[in-house]
Structure 1
C-alpha cells in the first residue's frame, strides 16, 4: 500500500470513528430529509438538509448505521456541503457518482471534494460503491424534495 493510500485509509477510519454532521438536526428545522438503505449490506442513514433563503445548504446532518465507508462518506459529505449552494452540491453529487462508476479510472479532486477525495479508491471495489454513494444519494433526494 502506498503512503497516500495509507493516509486515505486512515482518513476514512477517522471519519468513521469520529463522524461530523451528527446528531441529526430536529425534523422541524429541516427543509427536507431522505432515508436511504443499501439492501445488499444493510447500511442505512437518514440525512436532513436545512437551506437558507437563497437556497444554500446551511447544514446537512445525518444519523445511520453501517460500514466504515458509508459512515465516513456521510461525515465527509456533511462537512463539504455546509454553506454550499444547492446547485453546486448537486453538481458535486454528479461528479462523485461518475468517479464511483469509473472503476478506479477517475480520481476525485481534493480541491473540489476535500476529505471525500479519499473515497476515490472505493470505485475499484464495485461491492463497496453503494456504501460510499449512500449519503450522496440521500443528499440528492433531499435537495429534490426541498
Structure 2
C-alpha cells in the first residue's frame, strides 16, 4: 500500500467511525467552531481536571470528511495530556499545515494527524483541517465554558 492510500484510509476511518463523536458529560469547557467558507460546524467539549490534564473530550456537529476526521484525530492526541502540551501540539499542527514545519521527526508527534500534512496543497481544504485544532486552541486560551454561546471562527 502506498503512502497516499494509507493516508486516505486513516482519514476515512476517522470520518466514518469517529472515536470521540458524542457528548462529554460534565465537560469543563465547550466551544462551537465554525468554518463559514464551507459550512463545517462543530461543538468541542473537553473535561479538564484540577491538575490541568485533559481527561476526556468529544465533538458533535457536521462537516466534511476532513474536518470531522481531523477533530477526531486531534482528540486522540490531546486526551491524557496537560493543556500546555495540547496547545503545543496545536501549534505544531498549524505549522505543519502551513508548511512552516517540515521535519518529519517532529511531525510524527502528531501521530495519525500527520496524515493531513499534504492538505496544504489544497488551499480550500486547509480551513477544514484546522477547524478542530483552532477551536481547541481558542477554548484552552480563553477558558470557554458551556453556555457562553461563543464561537471560534476558522481563519488562517
TM beyond 0.5: yes
Q: What CA distance in whole angstroms lies between the structure 2 residues aligned with 1:64 and 1:75? A: 12
1:69 matched to 2:66? The reply is: yes
What is the aligned residue count? 141
Query: Are the aligned partners of 1:43 and 1:66 in contact in 2 as well (CA < 8 Å)?
Result: yes
User: Given that residues 44 and 64 in structure 1 are in contact (C-alpha distance below 8 angstroms), is that contact kept between their aligned partners in structure 2?
Assistant: yes
- After TM superposition, give the deviation of residue 100 of structure 1 in Å: 1.1
Is 1:48–1:142's contact at 8 Å kept on the other side of the alignment?
Answer: no
The Cα of 1:25 is off from its aligned counterpart by 1.1
Greater share of helix: 1
Name the residue aligned to 1:109.
Answer: 107
**Counterparts of 2:67 and 2:75 in 1: how far apart (Å)?**
12
Give structure 1 stretches of 5+ with no counterpart: none
Displacement of 1:145 in angstroms is 3.1
TM-superposition CA deviations, 1:89-134 (whole Å, max 9, x none): 101111111111128x735622x11111111111111110100000
Could you tell me how far 1:67 is from its partner in structure 2? 0.7
2:95 aligned with 1:98, yes or no?
yes
TM-score (norm. length: structure 1): 0.90
* Secondary structure of the structure 2 residue equivalent to 1:44: strand
* 1:28-39 alignment, distance < 5 Å: 29-39=26-36
SS in structure 2 of the partner of residue 77 of structure 1: helix
Separation of aligned partners in 1, 2:49 and 2:117: 30
Distance 1:145 1:48 in 2: 14
Quote the residue 1:7 is aligned against: 6
**TM score, norm. by length of structure 2:** 0.85
Which residues of structure 2 form unaligned runs of 5+?
A: 144-156
Deviations 1:53-96 (A, max 9, x none): 10010112111211100000011011111100100110111111
Superposition RMSD on alpha carbons, in Å? 1.6
Q: Residue 12 of structure 1: CA displacement? A: 0.2
